[in-house]
Each structure stands twice: as C-alpha cells, then as structure tokens.
Structure 1
Amino acid sequence: MSAENPRLLFRVDPLPLESPRGYLSRVAHEHGYPGPLSIARIAGLQRTNLERNEDAERIAHVLRLEPEEWRAMCYRRVRDEGRYFLRSFCGHSITADALNYGRTRVCPDCLRERPVWWALWDLGLVSACSRHRCYLIDQCPACGRRLRWRRPSMCRCRCGVDLRTVPADPAPQDLLAIQALICQASGVTLTSQAQEDIGAASLAPELERSELGSLLRLVLFAGSIGEEGWLRQKQRPFAATNLSGAKKIGREAAALFSEWPRPFHEALRRMLPAKAEDPSKLNFSHIYGNFYRHLFRVLPAAESAFLRQEFERFVVAEWKGLIRGNHRYFSPSVHAQSHWVCAHDAEKLARTSSNRIMDLVRAEQIDGVFVKVSTRTECWVKRESLSRWIADRDSELACYMLRPEVEQALGIKNITATSIAVAGAIRYVRGPSCDFPADVTYFLREDVKQVLDAFERHAPPLCDFVKPGSLIALRHAVKNFLGRGPGLASVIRAVVKGTLTPVGRTARFRGIMGYLFRLDDLRMYRPLGECPASRESFLNFRESATVLNVKPLVVRALVHHGVFAMVPGHSNGRSKLIPESEVLAFATNYVVASRRGTSGVEISAQDVLRIRIPEAGRGFVVFIPAKTKGGTPPRHP
C-alpha cells in the first residue's frame, strides 16, 4: 500500500442491495481493521464525506472499486423536477428524511444466515424483516445502548455481545405485508410467505404498482395520520431513527390500506359530526384537518390519485354539507353528484330560471336553504328533492310535444305550428307558465294526434295533382289565400269536426299539406280581416283576373285607382280580397279592349275607362262598355 495513493490489499466485491456503510464495515472486517472508520482514515476523509459525489474517486481507489460502482451503492444526492434534492437508493429516488443514519437496525436471523448489512435496513420505515417475519432491533439487549454503524464488527455490539444470538420478536402479519411491499419496491425478491402476507392483507392494488419513493410517502402519510381507525387532526411526528414509531406507522398504514377501501371510508365516516348540522357550516378543513390539507396540497397528485378518488367517492356518498365553487380540488363529477346543488347549477338541470328555483324553495316545493355569504345570499337545493321535482314536471311534459315534433307529424313548416295553435286549432302552453324549460312552446300531444287522425281517417285516393284548379292542395291554399293563422286553423277544426272532407291526396307535399280539397269549399274559410262575420263572397286578385280575363297586375291597377274596394284588415301572408259582387258588376259593364280593337269602335270618349298600370314600363289598359247606351254591343265599322 503506497503512502501517496493508499489502497487496500485486495478487493471485496460489493453485493446487490448492500448498504454502503455495511459494505465499509464488511471490508474493514475482512481486512482486520477495528471498524469502518479505519477505511475513512486511509482515504483521508472524514466519516461524513464518505458518500459525497466529489470524493467518490478517492474512496473507490482505496476500496479497489470503479468510481461508478461506489456511486451506485451510495445514497447520493440527485436533483428532482422541483426545488428539493432527493437521494438515490438502489436505483430509486427517495426523500432524504426517509433514510435512517443515526440508529442502526439489524435482523439477527439475517446476520446469522449471512453477515451482510442490507440497504433495506437503512430505511426509516422498515421495522421488520419480511423474510424471517420478525422485528428488527436497534439496541443491544445486554448493555441497552443503541447500535452504531461504527461498532468493531457488524455482528457484534460495542459491549462484545454477538447480535446473531439475540432472539427476535415475531412481527404481526399486517405489518409484514407493508414491509413486504417496501422490499418488493426496493428490488428484493420476496419469499412465498411474504407474497401470501400481501395477498392476505388485501391492500390497495395501487400500492403494489407504486415506486419506492411514492410508496414510502404514502405509508408515512397513512400511518402518521391514522390512529386506531380514526384520522388525526394533525400528523404524528416521526423521525427516521425511531423504531417504535416506524412499527406504529406501519401497522396504522396497514389498517388503513387493508381490505381497501372499506377501512378508509370508515375512518372518514367517524370524523363526521354525530348530529345533523346546518349544511352550510360543515367544512372539510375543520373536520378532516391535516389529512385534507396533505391530500390536496402536499402529496404529489400522481401517487395519491387513488386516495383522492376514494375520498371523492366518500364525499359523494356521505358528505351532507355544501360543496361550493372554491373547492377546486374536487373533480367536476363530485360537484355533479353532490347532495346539494346551487341555484345557478340547478337552473341548468331543471332548464328553468334560478329565480324560479328560489321561488320553489320559498314555497317548499323543493327542499333548500339560503346561505348568507359576505354581501350576497346563495340558494342551495337538495339534489334528491330537485330530481323528484324534475321527474314530476317531466311526467307532465310527456303530454306535450315540441314544435319540431309537431312540424314532423303534420308536415308544416317554421312558425305555422305556433300560428295555428294561437288561432285555437291545437292547445299549447309556454314553458315558464308550467315550469317547463323557458322560451319554448309545447303543444298538447292529444290534439296533434287528433288532427292527424282526422285527416287520415278519410283515406282519400292518391291523385296526380299538378296545379290548383277545381281542386287545390292545402299547401297552395295556405300560400294563396288561407294564410298560416286563422284560415288554416279554421280548416283544421272543420276537418276534425267532420264538416270539411278532403277529396284527394298528393305526394308532392308532406303531412296534411298534401290533402286536396274543392276550391270552392276552402274559399269559405279564408280569413276576412275586419269582416269575419260577413256572409258575402270574396275573390283574391288572381281569381278576379280570371273573371275579367286580364292579368293580376290589371286587377291591382284597378284597386290602385279605386275602381275596386279591397276588404280592410289585410295582413302579410294573406290574400288581398275584393268583394265578388263588385268584380261581377264590372265584368258585366266593361270589357277590355286592345288598341287595335278600339280604333274602329263607335264609343264616345267619356265612356272609355283608361287605367294606367302603376308598375313602371307597363303602360295602360283600356276598358270599353260591354253595351252601348241603347243596350247593344259596340258596333265595328
């Protein structure tokens, strides 16, 4: 061994999953040194610098190891994604406070089989050996002093007692299950008995899939927050050197995670107030304390997702208080299934206004409460009560149809359904008047079916209908003179009563619009504006033009010049009507004359009726008397 570059005489091969300090103790024992500090003195290092990354090459040179071999064994500092340093432990990243440097723990049975200090014993939460099913020891039973890693031999206390002869107390099965999970996550091959311990405990399956660092945090959290089936308001303090604390935490964690998730729900349920309180006064932070804070603010989201998921399920099933919008930690499904719902969300569920919801709460038709929050008052309703009210409302709603359904059934378009309903052909209601969804018209299903049956029961033959003549389709009649409102409604009522019967049907138009009627029959139902009670017959412009043997624009010109008086009360979408008596009287007295025909007729100028057509570029039309003053037709030379 050179004085400048000291090295040990031979190499001692490190074992997988061996503690770095245990390896130094084993190397010192193999070379006959009194303890592991001798290796540090040979390397010229202090005992606190043995695992520092910058001194790895020096200590590796002394041990005749490659620097990477020594670094792989050490619990060196590694940088995580956050601002804190973690420690590398057998290829896993764990927090520094998970390591036990102060009070060495050993399993006497393991030392008896093989004098090796395993890295697993350096974890603060490891308190039992899953292989030999016994507790670890951290103090000498003879002298009562705690074990130190700087003792002369790995298997002996400083007082000389052989630790391999110390009897170990058996560990309970629930604790062994937790210890077996930690061993498995560390990379230790489990015995068949250890695997049976895990299966018998029925632990949460997410624990078996967790990485070592996550598993240690979850066990520490569950064990320090639980206490004999309860959840503590504050976590129990824990030091990694405290063996008795590690035993208690392991058993509490096993109790909370076994037969998952029943014990967890029971522990949460015990924290709820025994007596029913005002739902607005129930507070998660006040009831669950540190557990609630750690679950949503401290524990990483990925590793504690199953805990939060079960907590949310418990909240949905058991929590009787309000869940206001500031509970941003809960998923949307929790808000959607909570026992209480605010009026703002209730109006979306009930499809009515929040003011109507509050009126129903005041009328005690829905169970709810009013909560004073700062300067405003919130209304909250019980979801169950709201659901019952909606179910009752929807049972009434089943008797009605929406406008698209009516349009599909009757073959009508746009606002025609509303127009005939307003005119009295179909009974209807508006949404707000019956607590139905607002701004929507609902039509009585019974009336719609009655109208459809009235048209279909006549079963008229299918005809090759082209255009209106002696027969006219209801669609053309609506467009020409009936209109969408009272006229069409009166026709529908007449068909329902049986006083009007369709004589045919065409496939050109859907529903009732394809039924054919006699033109003279439908004329009796045309709307008459301000003269609905008149028994006089009326003609529209097209019909008047047919009688006079002129174009409709000529009739329009005659109305414009005051020759014909139009029936008052005309509205858009309806035909303009002229009394039939006026049209027939004019046809008796006048005939239209062309310019060529009028040049040789012996008629005085005052008897000629010259009508200018208002449309630009249309000129004028000339009417001459149908008979002369002597009662004979005009004579042509």
Structure 2
Amino acid sequence: MLAFPLTPFADESVNGYLLRLAEENFMDSSAALLREAGVRLKARYSEAELNAVSETHGLDCAGIQQLAGFSQVAGSLSQGRFLRTAAVPVCVECLRASAYIRQAWHHQLFTACPEHQRSLLEACSECSAPLDLKRHSITTCRCGYDLTTADVAPADPASLWVASLLWPASGISLPGLEALPQDVDAFLLFLANLTLAEPHRKNAPIDTDKALAVCQASHQIGNNLLPRFRDFVEAKIEAANQMASSRFMLNLGSWYRELNTEFAGEVYAPLREMAHRLILERANAPINRKMKQLGAELLGLKATLTAAEAARTLKSSADRIVALVKSGALGGTILQGATSEFCLVKRTEVEAHQQAAADFLYGKDLLKLLGISRRTRDRFAETGLLSPVSEMQRPLFARGDYRKSEALALLERLTESCGEIDEPKRSLSFADISGKRFSNAQANDLLKRVFAGDLKPLGRVRGIQGFAAFRFDEETLADVSAQHSTGIEFTITDLTKITPWKHQTIKGWIDAGYLRARVEPGKKYRTFISLADLIAFLSTYVVAADAADRLGSKSAWLKGTMKRVGALVTGPSGEVESGLLLSVDALVNIVSNRAPTWSRPSKPSARTSQNPELKAVVDWYCQPPEVLCV
C-alpha cells in the first residue's frame, strides 16, 4: 500500500500516473514502483501486469485498466498501434496548468497541442536528452531543468489539424465523412502515403520528422477530402490509361486494394463509391470483376443480387451479407471465379427480409410518426403501451427498436372513438399529462386509464396529426389524479433552465444534504425537487455565485472573507469547492454582532414541520416583490 495515493485524471496515461505516484511517494522513478510488483517499465502492459501493480499498491484496478486503454484518444492506441515506446513529448502549457502526462502525448502522430496551439517539447532544452518517463519527476528533467519554463514554437496548421482529429475533445471530423472513423490514425497514414515520395511501411516506427511529414501529407488531402481525393483518383486512372496495358489494376496502384480491404467500413463508403464510379467511367481497359463487384456473365441473373446490391437494399454492408450467406443465415450462393469470389443472394430472400425489417423504426422516427415528444414516448414505454423489441427478437436486418404496426394500432385504437373538434379553451394534451403537471405515478395512471377506456378524450383537434391532436378535460383529469397529488416538482434539468446553476452543482447540493429531493427508481434514474423544498433551500442558503454576480464580484473572491467570518457552508469532508453556499442564519447573526452559530435554544423555531397547503406556498412565493419586501 502506498502512503500517499493519488486519483488519476480521466485523460492521464498509465505510465504518467505511475510516475506521478512514484514522485508523490518519494520514489526515484516509476520503475521503482513497478519493481515491487515484479513488473518492468514499458509502453504497454498486459492485464495480469496491471492487476499485479494494482494489488501490490492498493490501486483501483478498473481505473488503471481504463487508463491503459487510452480511451481519451481517437485511433488505434488501444490496439498498440502508433504507440510511442521511448520518449514521450509534452506540452509545456499543459504541464503548467496541471502537471500530469496526457494519453494523447503517447500517439506518434500527436505532435502539437490543439488547446494551446503549441508544438510538443520532445527533448530537454538544457541537456537535449529525450523526455522519456524514466525520470523522477513529471515537470523536471534528469538534469534538473524545469520543463515548464521551456520555450516552444507555435505549431504548424497540419500538425494542429492531425492532433485535433486524435483529440476527441476538439469535436472536429474529416470533411465529407459522416463520423470520425475509429481507425482515423491509420486512415491519415493512408492519405499521407498517397502523396509521400517514400510511403511509410505499415507498423514501422515513426520518429518526429516522419510524423511531421505524415501530418503535412495527410493534411494536404484530408482538409478538403472529397474534392482532392477525386483529383488523386482521376490522375491515377489517367496514368494507368497511358500505359495501355491489360494489367490496369496493377498499374493503378496498391491504394485501391488497401482502400477496399483496410477501410471497408460504412464510414468510408463515400470514398469507395467515388473510386468505383470514376474507374467505371474513365478506365480504358478491361475491368476485373473484383473491382466492379459484378461479373459480366451475372448481368442477366435478375433472380439474384450481388452482395453489394443486397446490402444496399437491406441497408447493410456487403461484408455482412457474405458472412451471413456463408453461415447459412441468409439464402445464397458463393461462386469462385478465376481470381475473385462472388456472392449471390436470392431476390425473394432479400425482399422477404426487407419487408420484415420495414416494420421497425428508431425511437426518433416513432416520435414523428405518432406526433409525440420523447417524454411521452418514455411514458408509453413505462406503462407498457409501447414495448421496444429486444435485439434477439428482431428480424435479421431490422433497423430500429419499435414496431411500426404496433404504434399505428395504438393510435388507431384511440382514434376510432374520437371525432374532430376545435381547440378547447381549457384542455390538456398527452404532452401535458406526461409533463410537469402530474407526477410520474399520476401520469402513468392517467395513461393506463385512457387506453383502458376509463377516460375518454374530448376529441381530436382539426389539422393536427397523431397523438398531439387529442384533448382531455382538465377538471376531469385533476379529479382523477387528486388522490395521488404530490405537488409541483422540478427535475435537475428543469432547475438548470430556470436558474444559472449547473447540473453537477445541483446534484452536489442534493448529495451533501443541503437540497432535499426524492429519487424515482426505474430504468431511468430520475431526481425530483419539490417547490416547498426549493423554497426551504433558498431561505436557508445563499448561493455565493448568484450573490457575487449581483455584486459584480466572483464567488472565489468571496470565499476567503465568508470563511473567516464563519458564513461559509462546509460539508462532511470540508469546504464545498463547487457551488459555494452561504448560511442565511450565519449572515443574520454576523449583522447582529453575534457568533455565526448563535441560536436561542430556549425559544422554539418559528418554522413548523407540517407541510403547508401547496396553493398557499405557491401564492406566497409568486407575490409581487414589493409585497414580499413588506
């Protein structure tokens, strides 16, 4: 067990965390820390080695495993690719802000900091030694030089662009692709090899100079991907045509094979489709079947579809179609050509699967179909009116969780007994029932009664589609739900919308016991704050951030003064760091020249523990400011 354990940062690397632990516990290096567990210092550890380190020093095993997985870096680091094995450069500005080693710094193509727009420091400015993690301190070189004082140059645009793609917090993606690929680093190397004079070999080590060259070459095509990739393909096709050879594919280059094998995912479909179309339109040579994905002798077989055609019809991928045919899950045939393998699928089989999958839709599409909100859909699911279908029970190519036929039948059941009406003055819709007007128990009970036939709608408003058209009598619903009345309640999200408070701050107050709330268990863990509890909280505490904002100050500036006079609220583990609160009672005592904790024990509190009438609480709270002041 370590005398001084540390909590790892979310984006901290495992070796950086071990070095920080060693430094905190007065060890020479992280190697000394690992030596006690029988493990040597290296770039990547096995699961057994991480478990041994955790057990030896009493560390959180799950947390260590998460750090070792490089979850905060996009790309292939988790598979051991592009991993720096020796020196790990650092961002000087990041070390100044918080002294720990980021996971992204271990990536060979990460040569700049997107946050500070600076290049990473690779070697000590004093002794020129590489910055490996065998040193005894995060911020100090072996020679004693303070790395945070080093002067680094601004990063070039190409390095910043590549680093931003590898850093998920930047939120950028490759233009022309629907999402950021999981193997984005491998794809960047592929783009760089398209124009590099000497292409980089797969899995070969990448030093700093090579990394900068890869960044420049990949940025040249990647920052405007589709147009520049098109220009590249057209140039390659023209060069292959100039050779006037039957070996067109060989003359085209190895990039086409790599594109179709290494980058066969759906996210790269626009690039593959562009390459296929251009080759078919411009190649002046016989085209082999593998490139076209279609054999000339198969054009007349309309009863069958190729894997690509079946994939387009079923909104799937060709690789999945081939795998299903080979396993027997999908009816079809595998034909072996001279050099290629062709997959044929029966059209009747494809159409049957297409029809079965057409009855399924995603939750977002369900909202549009029924004219309901997400909250109403969740209410329907809670009461069993709409049931998501598990993955094991869905058809093979179903895309969605809900059955369209079931949703339409539910709508039809209510539509049959309702006529069209004009918009009533005092009425409620399904959105109102599912909203804040009623508690969860009340809303679920009302929905069950509606679809059981116990509560009849007034009718359907003309010109409105779906469940949004139905209206119910407000007084009738209030009478039915009166027995379950729990008053006005807010969720944490509701409070974030009507106050400047943050979600995490409100949750911290609730966890610390300052703000009372009730928790509703279920599939979705939800917290509710009643109006009475909110009023009690505001009458007991002053939110320091709100007071500072009104005074043109900052809560951090008020903290010291309020702590000295005893008005700062403290929790079980000390001062509340986020969402500082000031005690109203302490402030009153201080103004009255009393001790902050003074109270008159002989006189009972004026507050009663009885719950007041909700209407009285709301009426008092909603009075004009001048009345409240009086």
With the shorter chain as reference, the TM-score category is: 0.3 to 0.5
| TM-score in terms of structure 1 length | 0.43
Point out the structure with max Rg over C-alpha.
1
| TM-score in terms of structure 2 length | 0.43
